[in-house]
Structure 1
Amino acid sequence: MTDKKPLILNLFEMACISHITHGLWPLPGNNRHRFDELGYWTELAEILEDGGFHGVFLADVIGAYDVFRGGPETALREGLQSPNLDPLLVIPAMAAVTKRLGFGATFSTTYEPPFAFARRASTLDHLTSGRFGWNIVTSYLPNAARNFGLEGEVPHDRRYEIADEYLDVLYKLWEGSWDDGAVVYDREQGIATDASKVRYIDHVGEHFRVAGPHIVHPSRQRTPVLYQATGSPAGIEFAGRHAELVFTGGRTTEDFRRNAAEMTASAERHGRSRADLRFIVQAGVVVGRTEEEAADKWRTYREHVSLDGILAHSGLRVDLTAYPRDITVAEAVRRSGVPESEVPFLPLDKTVGAALDGLQGSREGRYFVAGTPSVVADEIERWLDDDGVDGINLRQYHSFDTARDFAELVVPELRRRGRLVEDSGAPTTLRDRLFGRGDRLPDHHIAARYRGGANLDVPVPPLRFAAPVPPVPLAAN
C-alpha cells in the first residue's frame, strides 16, 4: 500500500480590510478591521500554528484599483485591498509567537532595486529562523506603475524579463557573496567576519548594476523559498526556471492539470523535475458540525457578498450595473464605447443579468466545498489524488472563524486519514517542511551555480518570452 499524499495547508491573507471575499468584513465577529493591530497578527499566527497549518500566504498590491468606473472610489468604499499594510513588516510579529509556521510574502520585482530587497529577505529569514518564503510577482495594476514614476504598465513579458535578471542578482547576493563560515565572532582576536570569505558580485546587466557584497550574512535558507502565482506562458517559463511552490489553479480539474503539466515541462527544460515543485490552489471551505450548520454559514456569506467589490477587483472598464439586465453583454459593451478587445473576459453572448450573477458566484469552482468535516475531507482527498494538487491556500470568509473552523473540525479528520502529519513540534525551516530534503536549494537549481563565488562573471542566458518591447518612458515631473 502506497503512502497517502499529505496536504500542504496555508491560510490566504492580506494586510487589509477586504482581500478577496468582498462585502464580508462587516459580519458580526469578523476581525478584519483589526488588520492594522499587532494583536491581530499574533492571534492569527497562534491559531494557525496550533491548528496544524504549514504557513500563511500574504498577498500584496502596490497600487489602487482605479479602472472600474474610472477611479478608486468604489474600491475605497469597499475597502478593497486599500488601506493596505506592507506584508513584510507583519512577519516578525507572527514569528515571535510561533516556532514552525511558515510565511510566504508578496514582493514585486518591477519597481524597487534588488539589493534592497535582498537585505529585507535575508533579515526576515534570520528573524524567522529560516521560515520565510517570497512570492515573486511583477505587479499588474496601472496605478502601481504611476506610483513609481511611469506613464503606464511595463508590458507583461518585459516585466518577466526584468524579473529574470532581478533573480539573477539576488542569487549572486544570497548564494555567492558570502561563504559558509565567513562569520566567526572570534572574541580573542576581535574578528567578526573572515573577509577572505566575502566577495563583491559586480553584476552588470541590461537592467541592473550591483556591486555587492551582500550586506547581510547567510541566513539558514540563504535563498528564501521561492513562491510564484502564475498561469501565463511567460510566467510558466519563469516558474520552470525559478519557482518551488506555485500558486495556480483553474475552474476545472482539466485546467489545473494543464497548468501543472506545462510548468513541470518548463522545469524539466531547466534541469529540474516535478519533485522540485509544489502546486497550491486557492480553495474555499465552509465547514460545520452538521450539514445544516455549514449550509447556514454559506448562505450568510452568499447574502453579504458585494457585487461592487467583485467588479472593482476585476478592473472592468465597462460597468455592467449601469445597463438593463435583459440586454446582451455585447450590446452593453457597444453602448459603453469600450472596444471588445479591452474586455476579453466578458461573456458577450450572455445577458447582463446572467453575466453579473456569474461574476457574483465566480469564486466557487472546482476547489470549493461546504459541508461536515467528513464531506470536506472527502473533497480535499479528491483534489490531492484525482487532480494532483499538493496543497491549498484557504480563502477566508471570516477572520478568525474560517481558520478556527478548519483547525478544529477539518484538521483532526485529515490527520485521522493520514493527510496531515501531526509533527513533533520541533522547529524547522520552511523549505525542509515543504520538501523534506534540507534547508537550502538543491544543487540543480539555477541559484546554486553561484555557491562559493563560482560563475559570478558568467552570464546566464536570459529567458526570452516575446520580441523586445521598448521601455516605458518616465512620466514628466
Structure 2
Amino acid sequence: MAKKPLLLNAFNMNSVGHINHGLWTHPRDTSTQYNTLAYWVEQAKLLERGLFDGLFIADILGVYDSYQQSVELTLRESVQWPINDPALLVSAMAGATQHLGFGITTNLSYEAPYLLARRFSTLDHLSQGRVGWNIVTGYLDSAARAMGSPQQLPHDERYDRADEYLELLYKLWEGSWEEGAVRRDKAARVFADPARVHPVQHQGRYFKSEGYHLCEPSVQRTPVLFQAGSSGRGLRFAARHAECVFVSIQDRDSTRRLVQQLREELPRAGRAPEDVKVFMGQTVIVAPTEGQAREKWAEYRRYASPEAGILHLAATSGIDFSAYADDTPLIQQQPSNGIQSAISRLSGGRLDYTLRDLREDLALGGRYMTVVGDPQQVADQLQQWVADTGIDGFNLARTVYPESFVDFIDLVVPELQNRGLYKTHYTEGSLRHKLFGQGHHLDARHPGRAYRRG
C-alpha cells in the first residue's frame, strides 16, 4: 500500500447543523455555541494541536426550502440555518494560532470583486498568509430571490461569469502593486513608490472596474484557491483556477475516475497534474477498540436525524423527496441528471434503490463515507482510499463536537504518524507553502501569475 503523506482539514460551518444532521441534540455536543468566539478559538487551538493543515469553513446563502415546500424542518433541526458569516471568524482564530490554515467559503455570485479582493487581502495580512478561498457560485434559488433575482444564472454561465471574476481578482491581487512597491522609508518619507502601484482596467462581459487594489500585497497575494465542481464545466474551471479541489463522492471507483479526469484536464489548461491537491469529505468515528467504536456509532445514530439528511439532499438535488413513498425506486421515478448523480453516489447505481434505503444510508444525518473502527482500522481505511483513488487528503466532518475531532487527534493522528503518513511538526511559512512546498505565491504555471508586474 502506498505511503502518501496525508493532508487533513477539519470541515465545519458557522452554524449548528452542517453535514451530520441532528447530532446537535447529543448531550456532549456543543455546536449550539457556534455563535461565540470561544467555540471557534478553542476549535482552532485543538486543530493546531493535531497538526491539521486547515479548518475548511462551508457556507451557503439562502435557505433550504424545497423539502415539503417549507422551512419548518430546516428550522427545527437547524439544517445549516441559522448561519453566520465565516470570514469574520478568522481574525480571532488566527490570533490564537501560528500555523493552522483557514479555507473560507464565499459566494462570488453576490459580491463585488473589488470588495472581495480587499477582504481576503486583509485576512491574509492578519493571518500572516494562512488564508484560502473556497470559490462557489451557489446553487440555491432561495439565495437568488433574497438577492433580488428570480432565479440563478444557468449552471455553465455561472462558471463563465466566475472565470471573468477571477481574471479581475488576479489583476487586483497580482498586478496592481509590484513587488518592492512598499518601501516604509521614514527618512525619505516614502511609504509606497507611486511608480510601482498601478490602476486596474477591466472592461468585460460581466464586470467593469477601474481603480487600484486597496491593500498592499499580503504574504500570499492571492489566497490559496479551493473549488468543488465535478461537472464537466466545473472541472474545466478547477483545472484553470483551483489549487485544492474538494470532492464528496462515496464510492472508490467514481472518486478515482473524477480525480483522473481532473488530472487529465490540468495539462489542457497549461498546468501540471500535481498542481492541485484533492480533498475528500469523510466522517470518522473512532475509539480505542472496534467494539467501543461500534457502540459510539450506535449511540450517535440515536440522536441523528436521517430526515434532515434527506432534506439536505433534496436541496442540493432540487428534488422534493417528501413526495415519494418509502418503497419508491428513486432513480426510476426521477430521470434528471441531478438526481441520478446524487442517488448513484449512495446506491452504487442500484435501480431498485428506494427512499427507505436512502434513509438508512443517512442514518447519521449525512451522506459522507463513514469509517468506524479502532485507530488501526481507521488508518487502514484512509490509507487505502488514498492508494485507490489518488486523492491527497480529507475534509473531516464533525459528528459530536468537540469529541469527534478530539478522538481523531488523540487516536488516529499518532497511528498515522507511526506509519510515516502524517507530519510530526508544521513547516514554517504560508498555507500555500505548507501545502505545496514551493513558496508563498501562485506557481509559475498558474494563469493568475501572468498578471504580475515587475
Specify if TM > 0.5.
yes
Query: Partner amino acid for 1:71?
Result: S
Matched, 1:356 2:351: no
Cα distance, 1:358 vs structure 2:
4.0
Q: For 2:230 and 2:387, how far apart are their aligned partners in 1?
A: 22
Aligned residue runs from structure 1 range 105-144, under 5 A: 105-144=104-143
Q: Distance in 2 between matches of 1:112 and 1:327?
A: 41
- Residues 163-199 of structure 1 show CA distances to partners (whole Å, capped at 9, x for unaligned) of 0000000000000000111111221232211111100
Alignment gaps of 5+ in structure 1:
334-338, 454-477
Q: In structure 2, the residue corresponding to 1:160 is in which secondary structure?
A: helix
1:23 Cα shift? 0.5
The one-letter code sitting in structure 2 at the alignment partner of 1:448 is R
**1:249/1:255 contact within 8 Å kept:** no
Question: Where does residue 347 of structure 2 map in the other structure?
Answer: none
Give, in whole Å, the separation in 2 of the partners of 1:327 and 1:160. 35
1:384 has 2:386 as partner: yes
- Does the CA contact (< 8 Å) of 2:305 and 2:365 recur in 1? no
Q: How do 1:21-420 and structure 2 match up within 5 A?
A: 21-315=20-314, 320=321, 324-326=325-327, 341=336, 344-345=339-340, 349-360=352-363, 363=366, 367-420=369-422
| Comparing 376-385 and 129-138, the one that deviates more | 376-385
Of the two, which has the highest radius of gyration?
Answer: 1
How much does 1:324 deviate? 4.8
Match of 2:446 in 1: 445
Deviations 1:421-451 (A, max 9, x none): 112x564200000001111111111011111
Mark the CA change 1:309 to 1:327 in structure 2 (over 3 Å): closer, same or farther: closer
CA distance 1:363–1:35, shift in 2 (3 Å): closer
Shift of 1:349: 4.4
Which segment drifts farther, 350-359 or 102-111?
350-359
CA distance in 2, matches of 1:416, 1:185: 47
**Cα separation, 2, equivalents of 1:22 and 1:292:** 24
* 1:25 counterpart SS class: helix
The CA deviation at 1:3 is 8.9
- Counting matched residue pairs gives 444
- CA shift, 1:329, in A, is 5.1
2:443·2:449 contact (CA, 8 Å) conserved in 1? yes
Are the counterparts in 1 of residues 30 and 401 from structure 2 also a CA contact under 8 Å? yes
- Aligned residue for 2:453, secondary structure, equals helix
% of aligned pairs identical? 42
Q: How far did 1:232 drift?
A: 0.8
Instruction: Give the conservation status (yes or no) of the 8 Å contact 1:282–1:392.
Output: yes
Please report how far the alpha carbon of residue 330 of structure 1 lies from its aligned counterpart in structure 2 after TM superposition.
Answer: 8.2
Q: What CA distance in whole angstroms lies between the structure 1 residues aligned with 2:86 and 2:451?
A: 29
**Alpha carbon RMSD of aligned pairs, Å?**
2.2
Secondary structure at the aligned position of 1:185 is classed as: strand
CA contact (8 A) 1:7 1:420 kept: yes
Q: TM-score, normalised by structure 1?
A: 0.88
Between the aligned partners of 2:354 and 2:15, the Cα distance in structure 1 is 34
CA distance in 2, matches of 1:376, 1:90: 31
Q: Secondary structure at the match of 1:98?
A: coil
Q: CA deviation at 1:385?
A: 2.0
Q: How far, CA to CA, are the matches of 2:8 and 2:427 in structure 1?
A: 18
Distance 1:9 1:327 in 2: 38
**Superposed CA offset, 1:5-49 (max 9, x none):** 110011001000000110100101211001000000000000000
Match of 1:283, as an amino acid? Q
C-alpha distance in 2, partners of 1:327/1:48? 43
C-alpha contact (below 8 Å) 2:306/2:364 kept by paired residues: no
Contact kept, 8 Å, 1:137 with 1:228, in 2: the verdict is yes
CA distance in 1, matches of 2:244, 2:394: 11
Equivalent-residue separation in structure 2 for 1:374 and 1:342 (angstroms): 38
- Cα 1:314–1:198, aligned 2, differ >3 Å: closer, same or farther? same
Is the Cα contact below 8 Å between 1:9 and 1:54 reproduced in 2?
Answer: yes
Cα deviation, 1:349-392, whole Å, max 9, x if unaligned, reads 44443343345479566x43111111111111112223221000
- Describe the SS at the equivalent of 2:200: coil
- Secondary structure of 1:40's counterpart equals helix
